Chain A
Amino acid sequence: MGSLTVTGLRARYGRTEALRGIDLDVADGEFFVILGPSGAGKTTTLKSVAGLVDDVDGEVRIAGRAMTGVEPYERNVAMAFESYALYPQKTVEQNLASPLRSGRSGTWSAAEQAERIRQVTTTLGIEHLRGRFPRELSNGQRQRTALGRVLVRPADVYLRDEPLSHLDAKLRAAMRAELKQLGEMSSTTTLYVTHDYQEALALGDRVGVLREGRLVQVGTPEQVWHAPADTFVARMFGQPEMNLCSADLSAGLAAVPTGGIAARPPASTAARPPASTAARTGRGGIEVGLPAELADAAGGSGASVRLGIRPRDLDVLSGPEPADRLVLRGRVTLAERLGRLVELSVDVAGEAVIAVTDDQRVREGDQVVMAVDWSRVHVFASGEPGTDTARLGSAAPLATGADALGGAR
């Protein structure tokens, strides 16, 4: 076991740049997850660490040892491939024995090999399959075998490339829980690649979000979930995706929406000091306050921002409207019933907002009232549609007219 440090890693395939400067620092025993969409460079990162990609710039250090020019078989790295890469002509047992027989991961007598393989296959629940060939296994069993070939041996760093991606949804959830247990059991230095945000949040000590060869954000699961660095990270996590709509800033709150759609709770009940700058969407459907420093960062009055609200942070209300939360009113245009939950598409004064509720009575055409905590409303810098912009902070309660006068600068 050892730490893993990656500095300024760059890789290119022909003309396309796969990695544009990756910096990583994985501590000894840490489970680090790299999350990214396909083509982001996840696999290339792993293979660069393993030494399987030629002509990469930057430095990889494993257990403090610089790996430049070191052959893969001398790096003491174990890797589970996305394609499993099981040797088709060998049985499960022979596949697992392969790293033990190479002589580069310690010397193992035949009895020790058999014992170690028995341990690992029992842990993974494949001990009855040891005599089978990979072609005689189901995908889940192959996945376990591939994982077994990695776990069976000692290594400084364990690399796992989308180990769960080819499994069906139920098996994936079960294996995710198993991996969590396995990972804690052996607490190994692991670099784990996935495109599934749930895997990333559930398994990772820390998560790095990769986009087009760059790490956009590195942080604990809580950090990337609650404070995404930008709209890309925000959209990567959560299903359905975060609602994003652009809003214009206006200072002093002179222009209060006439439709009365925006919520203006009494400032006294708000937990935080009310903000005097408001961000309002096109037709005033959503209006939130911005803390002063955040409004300044966005460019002050007249500039615009993007507001982001996760669908699951929106509560569809049936009782009285809360005074200390942002309240949205709208008409349901689409209600998708997904078993226990209903996914709603709500028209809030021209903005399509996705929300999730467990209230089965909601019908298309209904008027609904939704509420969200102020702190759960994310504010991002403005940008063209399709581009990603940085997160500035979260919204604040909106000041009433009197407060606005008092707090005006």
Chain B
Amino acid sequence: MGDGSRPGGRQPAKPAGREKRSRRGGKSSARERQPGQRRFSPASIGADVVLLGWFVFSLFPLVWLVLLSLKSESEQISTYFTFSPTLRNFGTVLSSEGARLTSVNFSDALLTSVLNCVGAVLVSLVIGVPAAYAAGRWQYKGSGDVMFTILSFRFAPELMVIVPLFVIYNQLGLFDTNVGMIWVLQLVTMPLVVWILRSYFQDMPAELEQAALLDGYTRTRAFLMVALPLVRPGIAASALLAFIFAWNNYVFPLILTGSGHTPVTVAVTRFLGGGGQAFYSLTAAAAIIAALPPLLVALSIQRYLVRGLSFGAVKA
């Protein structure tokens, strides 16, 4: 019966059971104990401190980025938190001034990124949704190997394939084109779509489509009429994730595009200067602008996303 286990343990020790002590504040209203609920103890406070430290550590770069983007050129290398904030950097990045500094038009880069990512996601969905359906419903000899091969595109380092890809792209004339970028971004987005949606299709009882077959619908119509509408949350979730992964991809566009179709990830780094002056504050502003589109997409489909990510957890 350790007395220090609870703050305010000064009251005369009652012969109360564990249940009594576990209740916060000792109020009389009965409350069921939740699985995540903890008692106060030195260990739990220590855990909170560790978590807080981790929280600061992981969020501070973002804070620093925002601060940096608001600093003027003269203050950009100071580490003080006091400075005169300005929004001029954002204007500079998007204007011809920025294009002059980096030889890349940042607005064009944004547009290129949007085109590439939307294209990649669309192609991934058109091919990936039926693929995921087949993978979720059809077990055959070697089906696991096929799925693993698709997944291996995800965890194989991009640098491993970048040199042969570069050669191939040069030969085919795909270097520095949108079609080429969309094509190569498939390597990133397609496995995501297929793997996420496969589990959605697996969670869906096959008897729904069987019922449709017996209602007189062909397999294609059963898929379109029954299965597809039910995985809409999953399509939203996987499309968003695919979009973010495609948007954030850096290595492929760095090698496979020139100045004609530079996407935003590469354009941001141009502000660091190639041997000339490094514009840290402009880089920070560009990075924040570059982060906005995926954020907006995420917010706009948040409703589906929350439902989508918890879809498989509870039996429908």
A complexed with B: yes
How many of chain A's residues touch chain B, expressed as a range? 20 to 34
**Contacting residues of chain A (144-174) with chain B, CB-CB under 8 angstroms:** 149, 153
Q: Give the distance in Å from the alpha carbon of A73 to the alpha carbon of B211 in the complex.
A: 10
| B212 within 8 Å of A (CB atoms) | yes
Tell me whether A79 and B214 are in contact (CB under 8 A): yes
Q: Are A73 and B230 in contact (CB under 8 A)?
A: no
Cα distance A52–B206 in the bound complex, in angstroms: 10
Q: Which of B6-14, B81-89, B215-223, B296-304 contacts the other chain?
A: B215-223
A21 at the interface (CB under 8 A from B): no
Known contacts: A87-B226, A88-B230, A89-B230. The answer to whether A77 contacts B214 by CB under 8 A is: yes
A159–B263 alpha-carbon span in the complex (Å): 58
A202 contacts the other chain (CB 8 A): no
With beta carbons under 8 angstroms apart, the residue of A75, A85, A103, A105 that contacts B211 is: A85
User: Who on chain B is nearest to A82 by CB?
Assistant: B207
Give chain B residues whose Cβ lies under 8 Å from the Cβ of A85: 205, 207-208, 210-211
Q: Once the chains bind, are B205 and A73 in contact (CB under 8 Å)?
A: no
Given A81-B207, A85-B210, A88-B230, are A102 and B215 neighbors across the interface (CB < 8 Å)?
A: yes
Does A91 count as interface, using CB distance less than 8 angstroms? no
* CB under 8 Å from chain A, chain B span 214-264: 214-219, 221, 226, 229-230
Q: Is the CB of A72 within 8 A of B205?
A: no
Q: Is B213 an interface residue (CB 8 A)?
A: yes
**A-B CB contacts (within 8 Å), total count:** 64
- CB of B215 within 8 A of CB of A52, answer no
Q: Closest CB of chain A to B310's CB: distance in Å?
A: 16
Chain A window 84-112, contacts with chain B (Cβ cutoff 8 Å), 1 for yes, 0 for no: 01111100000000110011110000000
Instruction: Across the interface, name the chain B residue whose C-beta is closest to A106.
Output: B216
Q: Do A102 and B205 touch across chains, with their CB atoms under 8 A apart? A: no
Closest Cβ of chain A: how far from B211's Cβ, in Å?
4
B307 CB → nearest A CB, Å = 13
Q: Could you tell me the distance between the alpha carbons of A86 and B212 in the complex, rounded to whole angstroms?
A: 10
Residues of A within 8 A of B226 (CB): 87
Which residues does chain B contribute within 8 Å of A18, judged by CB atoms? none
Does chain A have a CB within 8 A of B63? no
Distance to closest chain A CB from B41 (angstroms) = 43
The answer to whether B207 and A98 touch across the interface, beta carbons within 8 angstroms, is no
Question: Which residue of chain A is the closest to B207 with respect to CB atoms?
Answer: A85
Q: Which secondary structure dominates where chain A touches chain B?
A: loop
Complex contact A79–B211 (CB within 8 A): yes
B229 close to A89 (CB less than 8 A): yes
Say yes or no: is A78 at the interface (Cβ < 8 Å to chain B). yes
Q: Whole-angstrom distance from the CB of A270 to the nearest CB of chain B?
A: 56
Q: How far is it, in angstroms, between the C-alpha of A153 and the C-alpha of B211 when the chains are bound?
A: 13
Question: Is A316 part of the contact surface with B, judged by Cβ < 8 Å?
Answer: no
In the complex, residue of chain B having the shortest beta-carbon distance to the beta carbon of A74 = B216
Q: Does B314 contact A (CB under 8 A)?
A: no
* A52 touches which of B208, B213, B221 (Cβ 8 Å): B213
A89 to B232, CA, bound (A): 11
Chain B residues contacting A87 (CB-CB under 8 Å) are: 208, 211-212, 226
Is there contact, CB below 8 Å, between A72 and B316?
A: no
Chain B CB within 10 Å — which of A85, A89, A149 has the most? A85
A83 interface contact, C-beta 8 A = yes
Residues in B neighbouring A47, C-beta threshold 8 A? 210
Indicate if the CB atoms of B216 and A52 lie closer than 8 Å: no
Task: Give the docked Cα–Cα distance between A52 and B316 (Å).
Answer: 23
Instruction: List the B residue with the shortest CB-CB distance to A83.
Output: B207
User: Does A50 belong to the interface (CB within 8 Å)?
Assistant: yes
| CB proximity of B214 to chain A, nearest CB, Å | 5
Instruction: Out of B210, B216, B230, name the residue touching A99 (CB < 8 Å).
Output: B216
Bound together, the chains give a CA A161 to CA B214 distance in angstroms of 14
Evaluate whether A73 and B216 lie within 8 angstroms (CB atoms) in the complex, with A85-B205, A89-B229, A89-B230 already known: yes
The answer to whether A88 touches B316, judged by C-beta atoms less than 8 angstroms apart, is yes
Q: Quick one: closest B residue to A98, CB to CB?
A: B215
Q: Tell me which residues across on chain A come within 8 A of B205, comparing CB atoms.
A: 83, 85
- Judged by a CB distance under 8 angstroms, whether A71 is at the interface is yes
A360 smallest CB distance to B (angstroms): 42
Among B213, B219, B226, B230, which residue has the most Cβ atoms of chain A within 10 A? Answer: B213
Residues of chain B within 8 A (CB-CB) of A73 are 213-218
CB distance from B312 to the nearest CB of A (A): 15
In the bound assembly, the distance between CA atoms of A102 and B216 in angstroms comes to 5
Pick the residue among A50, A51, A88, A103 that contacts B216 (CB under 8 A).
A103
Write out the residue numbers on chain A whose beta carbons fall within 8 Å of the beta carbon of B207. 81, 83, 85
Cα A77 to Cα B214 in complex, Å, equals 6
Inside 8 A of A77's CB, which chain B residues have their CB? Answer: 214
Instruction: Please state if B215 and A99 are interface contacts (CB–CB under 8 Å).
Output: yes
Residues on B with C-beta less than 8 A from A81 are 207, 210-211
CB neighbours (8 Å) of A50 from chain B are 210, 214
Q: A88-B316, A89-B230 are in contact. Are A104 and B211 (CB under 8 A)?
A: no
Give 1 or 0 for each of A206-224: 1 = CB within 8 Å of chain B CB.
0000000000000000000
**Can you list 21 A-B contacts with CB-CB less than 8 angstroms, sorted by A residue number?**
A52-B213, A52-B214, A71-B213, A73-B213, A73-B215, A75-B214, A83-B207, A85-B208, A85-B211, A87-B211, A87-B226, A88-B208, A89-B230, A98-B212, A98-B215, A102-B216, A104-B216, A104-B217, A105-B216, A149-B211, A153-B215
**B-contacting residues of A (Cβ < 8 Å)?**
47, 50-52, 71-73, 75, 77-79, 81, 83, 85-89, 98-99, 102-105, 149, 153
Shortest 5 CB-CB distances between A and B: which pairs? A104-B216, A102-B216, A99-B215, A72-B213, A85-B211
Interface residues of B (CB under 8 A from A): 205, 207-208, 210-219, 221, 226, 229-230, 316
Given contacts A50-B214, A71-B218, 4 further A-B contacts (CB under 8 A): A83-B205, A89-B229, A99-B215, A102-B221
